[in-house]
Every structure is written in C-alpha cells, then in structure tokens.
C-alpha cells in the first residue's frame, strides 16, 4: 500500500459533528456487558447523546423501534441477552436504524465466536469495532485473543480490516496503537490517543459507545466512524494533559474531557498528520 492524499477531515468538520449530536441528541440503546455498563452509559451522555440500557427480551426490540442507534457489546453473552440482541436487530432493520457491533473477546472461546458469527450471519451492521485481535478473528485470519485483550503482532491489520468490511458491507474500526477505519473501498489510519487508555478497563467499550452516538446523529456512517474515533483519541490525549495520579484519576479526566469536547468549540484542533488514507 502506498500513502495517498489525506481525507478532508478538519477541526471545523469535527466541530460540526459534535454540534449535530448536541443539537438533536440521539437515543442510543446499548446492549452491553455489566462490567462496563456504567461507563458506557455515562460516555454516551457525555457526548450529549441519550443512553438507554434496554437489554432484555421483549423490551429490547420495543426500545429499538424508537432508538437512533443501537450498540451490541458481546463482553458477556448470556442467552437472554443474545436473544434480546436479535430482537433489537430485527427492529433496527425494520426502522433503518444503524447498529454497531463490538465483538468483545471474540476468538478467545468457541461460545463467543459462535455468538458473533450468528450475529454477522443475521444482522447488517453499520459499524464493526474491535481491537486488532478481535477484527482478525472475525475476518478468519490468525489472531491471539486472551480474555478480552489482543496480543501478538498484526502487521496486515489494514488489509484484514478492509477484507472484513468487504465481506460484511460494514465499516470496520480496528483499535490499537493506531486506529484503522476501513470500508470495502478505502482504509484510513488515525493517529490519536494515549497509552493511559490501555490502563483503564472499558475504554474499548466506550469507543463502541462513541461510534454509536456519532452514528445516531450523522447521516454519513463513514464520517461518523472517522470523526468518532478521532474525537475519542483526542479526548484521551487531552485527559493526559490534566493532573492524574494513576488509572482511576485518568479515567475521571477522560470522562470530563469528553464532556468538555461535546460542549465546546473544537475548530482549533490541529489534525495535520493525524488521518492518512493508505489504500
């Protein structure tokens, strides 16, 4: 792959996306795991969206009918929650509502792989977001996932992400040291974030929530994926600029920074070199 021109992503455009969320707060329904549910709900709120955690059979499908975006997080896969996901997916399809899949830990156990594969077979996802290992496992290439963590080397992650996007029709976000945003026709590499994000449990889940919030407010799903991933990474950097003593205080900084980004102007963001189209 050779570098080509960067996409037209500016501070003004990012500010417009944040204002779109604030001006018409989307209802984001999250079917997520209990470990990070509170952080997911709060981060959706901090982006100025409206969180609802309707994840039981019956209620999930009913709530999805009025949602602006739906998030599936497979960090825990009890049968009732999986049933609720399929109900919500059907409602989302009926009402043309974007659905984001965060296949947490896929590749670590046969059960998680089976749940994710069944969802992929039956649901048309707007965005699939995972770490390098999870995206690789979904794409059917060699991956090393321990619990919910990606380990090992993924030198071909750009092509892997594009292959998964091509086979599913989804936009694929692969999160790592550099984030990859791919569809069937293009691959972008985003340079934003901070190493402390990796020291806090649940930041991957919060990125999935971010992508759902942006997709609930923006008509352009590709722009929503790019802008959401970029805003998340920049918030991670700015949180590290504040005083913190460790992961707990950094986590608080991160939530506060997201809330500040959602409510203020970001037209002065220097995005030079942060977004590269590599295919």
Annotated binding site: 53, 129, 175, 202
Residue with tokens 């892997």: 160
Annotated binding site for substrate: 53, 202
Annotated binding site for ATP: 129, 175
Cβ-proximal residues to 69 (8 Å cutoff; 6+ apart), any chain: 26, 27, 28, 29, 97, 98, 99, 100, 212, 213, 215, 216
């Amino acid at each position: 792959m050779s570098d080509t021109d960067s996409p037209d992503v500016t501070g003004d455009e990012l500010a417009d996306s944040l204002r779109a969320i604030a001006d018409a707060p989307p209802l984001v329904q999250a079917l997520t795991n209990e470990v990070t549910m509170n952080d997911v709900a709060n981060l959706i709120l901090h982006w100025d969206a409206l969180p609802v955690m309707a994840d039981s059979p019956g209620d999930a499908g009913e709530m999805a009918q009025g949602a602006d975006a739906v998030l599936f997080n497979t960090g825990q896969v009890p049968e009732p929650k999986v049933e609720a996901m399929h109900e919500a997916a059907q409602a989302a399809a009926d009402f043309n509502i974007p659905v984001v899949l965060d296949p947490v830990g896929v590749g670590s156990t046969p059960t998680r792989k089976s749940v994710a594969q069944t969802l992929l077979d039956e649901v048309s996802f707007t965005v699939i977001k995972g770490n390098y290992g999870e995206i690789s496992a979904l794409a059917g290439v060699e991956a090393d996932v321990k619990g919910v963590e990606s380990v090992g080397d993924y030198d071909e992650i750009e092509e892997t992400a594009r292959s998964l996007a091509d086979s599913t029709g989804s936009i694929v976000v692969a999160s790592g040291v550099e984030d990859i945003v791919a569809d069937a026709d293009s691959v972008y590499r985003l340079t934003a974030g901070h190493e402390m994000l990796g020291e806090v449990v649940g930041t991957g889940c919060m990125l999935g929530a971010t992508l759902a919030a942006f997709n609930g407010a923006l008509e352009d799903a590709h722009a929503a994926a790019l802008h959401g991933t970029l805003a998340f990474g920049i918030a991670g950097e700015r949180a590290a600029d504040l005083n913190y003593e460790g992961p707990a205080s950094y986590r608080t900084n991160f939530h506060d920074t997201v809330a500040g980004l959602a409510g203020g102007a970001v037209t002065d963001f220097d995005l030079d070199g942060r977004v590269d189209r590599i295919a």
